[in-house]
Amino acid sequence: GDLNLGSVVLFFDKVKGAEMPLNKKPKQGQSSQVRVRHILLKHRECKSTVDKVRNKQVKRSRGEAERLLRAVLEQCASDPTKKATFTQRCKEISECQTSLSAGDLAGDLGWLKLGKGKFGPAFDAAALALQVGQLSDLVDSDQGIHIILRSA
């Protein structure tokens, strides 16, 4: 499908104080890779119905998973930075092993490249559409239902 992605390229001859360290590459236009964190809830219709974090079978319906994640979105909406609430809820309920990572890395999937993510095209498209610090709505994959937070 057409993702309606565009890009803006700006050129500056000299910008005061903008000298780049040699090990940093300048960012160009629409990013083809983003760094994201997520909260994953599985349900009975998933490809795998095992919560690998807690080593138990997932028995909830898709509707229950959606309801729980909608509550997380509401809680995050009342947190100005979203990060603290997202981190806390990720550690509490996410059924992805990334939720076990320390501190602000809870739920971190690292850098995603377009078309290379393990959660499929809908997840990649949602992740790439986010601005840094922005939360997605609910995103479906064969692994379960996700909330994505773009971290970089």
The Cα–Cα gap between 94 and 91 comes to 6
Burial 134-146 (b: 16+ CB within 10 A, else e): ebbebbbbebbbb
pTM passes above 0.85: no
Span between the terminal Cα atoms of the chain, in Å: 25
Give the model's pLDDT for residue 21: 46
pLDDT tens for each residue of 67-96 = 999 999 999 998 887 889 999 999 999 999
Contacts of 47 (CB under 8 A, 6+ apart): 142, 143
Give every residue of the chain whose pLDDT is below 50, as ranges. Answer: 15-29
Question: DSSP labels for 21-54?
Answer: PTTPPPP-SS-SEEEEEEEEE--TTSS--EETTT
